[in-house]
Amino acid sequence: MKHFILIYLWVLPILGSALDSKIGEMGGVNFYEPHEQDSFLTSTLIRGRLYLDIPEEVLGKPILWTRIGSSNQYESKQVVFTRFRDDILMEEHRIWSESGIWIPLKEDKSLEKNIMGIFPMLKGHGESRGCRIDITDILLGSTIAWKRARGGPLVSNMSQILDHKNSGHKVIVKTRRCVLKNEVRLSNTVYFSFYALPKPMDIRRFDYRMGFRYEDVGSMGNATKNYIASIARWRLEKLHQGKETSVPVKPITFVMSPNIPIKWRPYVKAGIEEWLPSFESAGFKDAIVVREVDTLDNWDRYGLDHSIIRWNRSQNVRTYRDGSGGSTVAMVIDLRSGEIIKSDILLGSSLEHLTDQYFIRCAALDKRALSFPFPDELMGELIQSLVAHEAGHTFGIKDNHYGEYSYPVNKMGDASWLETMGHTTSIMTYARHNNIAQPKDSVPPSLLIQKVGPTDNYYIQWAYTAFSKEMSPEEETSVLERIIRWQDSIPWFRYNTSQYEIIGPAATNEVVETNDPVIGTSLALKNLKRALELLPEACQDLKDNTTMERIYTKALELWYYNMKSVISLLGGYEIFYKSMDQPGNMYTPIPLESQKEALDFLIANAFDPPNWLVRPDFMVKIRYSTYPDKVTADQQRLLLELLRPQRMKRFEQMETINGYERTLQWYLENLQKGLFKELIENSDYVKPRRQEIQMTYIERLIWAIGQERKHFDPTKKALDHTDYTRGLMMGQLKVLRKEIKKSIKRNRGTQSLGHWKRCLSKLDKLLEP
């Protein structure tokens, strides 16, 4: 691991310098030209009807038509106005991506264009050139499908054009739409905008080894396929061409909504500005600007010239506090090139959720977390971390796993390492805050909170480094490939995705993922125990038990995620996405020794959890019944994870590798022994929770063995157990039935006799029909 660290600290700057030198030799880039059209659409509102004047030179030019409603999410269509006889046609065409491929309409590869509206040309508007149309009905009607539009019949007499604004290269229209739903009239304000698209910018081609979304932000597909596509990114161009570092012609600008509380604004700004050094690695100084304004009218808020940081308007709505909420971004992208035109940050996470997450992880490490509400300084730092994560999305980076299963677990309490590298490689992971450091490590609290990391700098450098026009496409590809190949020696630069299954320990969420999940989880559980012990004192001045119960529930969730991270070792693989000319395998099985250690840990901890977790001292203050029993429910979920068909098939694949023979047999045999250890230890008592787990195991295997054969298409068998696995499961149940019979015969007076007879009854129905 020291080898990797030295590579990062020494080789990366050298390679970066070489890259800057190469770019400097090639020269600069062209200046940004905002819009090609000398004139654009203009709108006129007359007696509730909206008229659109279309200059002759705008006909046939691509225009971005955008809708935004109460969800604050944008939907866009690229439209073209054309003339046919005495009518104007509004058409949506399939889009040519500058990466060299058509983006189809409505996922129909045969559809080249779609007529969205036909408008008679109107006269008498005083224009010598161009034409006028009445566009009211298409804005207020239901003929155009918008995914986020409220469903239900339109109430036409309550829907109307409220206002409009013309501003150079854009037209914005404010409407009120009313629909009938469940016999109730629901109305909301919807803004539409028509925006003149600029000349497409230079693209950066999508590469599946890098964690960027491509131009069609809704696209999903094979995680390991290099689609012909452009990544989503901002148009950044150097003002001083040829210089290694330059201010941009047009920086990425964010405007803070005035409803953000004043005390949180410095932290919101700081969260975005955490990314400034990342853009410097790509050659841009002061690439980001964050503006604070006293007022912000809706024309600027819903127009496409400003990216807004919005504060959730539900913060003071009853019941909102009880939910975790969620933050996200709302993007508008030019599909021709992947250019991000606008990207709002929607801060919807409740402050209580941020508090709960931090308390259960770091209460034992940060004295500021020992009373509710948290002091403003700590709360502000948590908001800053949240904003930094969402800002990463606005730059085009996806949520996911960057370099997980690579950071050394023994560095998580090392303040020097944390200062330089952080406890997680990227702010875009779901590692959350550092709960592996121990009190004895004396880590400063500021180093516990997730921040922009070295991998974030790496991704911005790959996506935003500018190339001169003189550089050939082959030269650009070569430079970008060299950057990607840094992953060969720096494992925390690697990206992987777990769309359909958690393939290994580099693809888990909600935990600090290190190179040793078992040790990491053991350390994390120590801090979780300390947090629960501190919880009663932290809640002593509160008037009800709501906070205590909510945080205890979050603690159980964190315990579940930690167990799940250990489970990822079983049937797990190390993941390293590669091109075909790179040596080595993309998936390398976790060593058997690590898998055995993981299974032993789970048997001891997941299925026999400690009293401090399942029966903390404060439980008598908040519970009167075993219902609802979340611990048992989580244990059952973990058991189903262990028996998931996808995991069994990964074990089957491992058995074809030298040294992993009969691995599935070993796994099923030792899992069953651990779950039914009372039979081996000749114990006369089975705890109530373990009875539920044992019965769940028997029922799940009986279900798997009896699973009907529904598919022959291999692509539809993801959730089907193979006959090979079912045969091994049948063998294990036969062994179990034999052991239960022995136990009943040996311990006829056991207080768990009824449980064992119920188990035997279920097994007899399968094995002796």
Q: What span, in angstroms and rounded, lies between the C-alpha atoms of 528 and 364?
A: 8
Q: Where are the alpha helices (DSSP H) in 643-769?
A: 645-654, 663-675, 677-681, 688-705, 723-746, 753-767
Residues 6+ apart with CB under 8 A from 378: 358, 366, 368, 369, 445
pLDDT given for residue 626 in this prediction: 86
Return the percentage of the chain with pLDDT > 70, whole number: 91
Q: What span, in angstroms and rounded, lies between the C-alpha atoms of 766 and 598?
A: 31
pLDDT given for residue 217 in this prediction: 65
Return the percentage of the chain with pLDDT > 90, whole number: 75
Residue 314 confidence (pLDDT) above 80: no
- When pLDDT is averaged across residues 150-177 and rounded to a whole number, the result is 88
Q: What span, in angstroms and rounded, lies between the C-alpha atoms of 257 and 326?
A: 18
Residues 6+ apart with CB under 8 A from 279: 236, 285, 287, 288, 460, 464
Query: Which residue, chain included where needed, has tokens 């008598």?
Result: 620
Residues 6+ apart with CB under 8 A from 664: 648, 651, 652, 654, 655, 724, 725, 728
DSSP secondary structure letters along 155-214: -GGG-EEEEEEEETTEEEEEEEEEEEETTEEEEEEEEEEEEE--PPPPP-B--TTS-B-B
- When pLDDT is averaged across residues 574-581 and rounded to a whole number, the result is 92
Of the pLDDT bands very low, low, confident and very high (cuts 50, 70, 90), residue 523 is very high
Query: Considering only CA atoms, which of 109, 209, 704, 292 is closest in space to residue 490?
Result: 209
pLDDT in tens, 692-734: 999 999 999 999 999 999 889 998 999 999 999 999 999 999 9
Residue 128 confidence (pLDDT) above 60: no
Instruction: Return the C-alpha torsion angle 735, 741, 742, 748, nearest 10.
Output: 160
What 3-state DSSP class applies to 730? helix
Q: Are strands 113-120 and 131-134 parallel, antiparallel or unpaired?
A: unpaired
pLDDT in tens, 403-426: 889 999 999 999 999 999 999 999
pLDDT given for residue 275 in this prediction: 98
Residue 624 confidence (pLDDT) above 50: yes
Query: Considering only CA atoms, which of 313, 667, 734, 372 is closest in space to residue 535?
Result: 372
Contact predicate 399/432, CB 8 Å: no
pLDDT given for residue 415 in this prediction: 98
pLDDT given for residue 312 in this prediction: 79
What 3-state DSSP class applies to 300? helix
Residues 6+ apart with CB under 8 A from 555: 360, 528, 531, 532, 613
The conformation of residue 544, written as its DSSP 8-state character, comes to S
Contact predicate 411/519, CB 8 Å: no
Amino acid identity at 726:
R
Residues 6+ apart with CB under 8 A from 303: 167, 170, 172, 193
pLDDT given for residue 10 in this prediction: 39
pLDDT given for residue 590 in this prediction: 98
Residue 27 confidence (pLDDT) above 50: no
Q: What span, in angstroms and rounded, lies between the C-alpha atoms of 361 and 378?
A: 14
Of the pLDDT bands very low, low, confident and very high (cuts 50, 70, 90), residue 110 is confident
Which residues is 509 bridged to in the sheet?
A: none
Query: Considering only CA atoms, which of 348, 401, 357, 415 is closest in space to residue 381?
Result: 357
Residues 6+ apart with CB under 8 A from 618: 535, 536, 548, 552
Q: What is the pTM of this model?
A: 0.91
Residue 183 confidence (pLDDT) above 80: no
Q: What span, in angstroms and rounded, lies between the C-alpha atoms of 458 and 16?
A: 10
Which residues is 253 bridged to in the sheet?
A: 289
pLDDT given for residue 232 in this prediction: 96
pLDDT given for residue 157 in this prediction: 82
Better pLDDT: 157 or 266: 266
The mean of the pLDDT values for the chain is 90
- When pLDDT is averaged across residues 492-516 and rounded to a whole number, the result is 89
Query: Considering only CA atoms, which of 684, 677, 669 is closest in space to residue 733?
Result: 669
Of the pLDDT bands very low, low, confident and very high (cuts 50, 70, 90), residue 226 is confident
Q: What span, in angstroms and rounded, lies between the C-alpha atoms of 733 and 452?
A: 50
Give the 3-state secondary structure percentages of the chain, helix then strand then coil, rounded to 5.
Answer: 40, 20, 40
What 3-state DSSP class applies to 49? strand
Q: What span, in angstroms and rounded, lies between the C-alpha atoms of 651 and 661?
A: 10
- When pLDDT is averaged across residues 218-240 and rounded to a whole number, the result is 85
Which architecture characterizes domain 2-18+218-559 according to CATH?
A: 3-Layer(aba) Sandwich (3.40)
Q: What span, in angstroms and rounded, lies between the C-alpha atoms of 426 and 725?
A: 38
What tokens were used for 263? 């005390």
Residue-range domain boundaries for the chain? 2-18+218-559, 42-196, 643-769
Q: What span, in angstroms and rounded, lies between the C-alpha atoms of 203 and 140?
A: 36
Q: How many CB atoms lie within 10 A of CB 665?
A: 14
* Sign, Cα dihedral of 98, 104, 109, 115: negative
Of the pLDDT bands very low, low, confident and very high (cuts 50, 70, 90), residue 158 is confident
pLDDT given for residue 38 in this prediction: 59
Provide the CA 62 distance to its chain's centre, in angstroms: 32
pLDDT in tens, 55-107: 999 999 999 999 998 788 999 999 999 999 999 999 999 999 999 999 988 77
pLDDT given for residue 182 in this prediction: 75
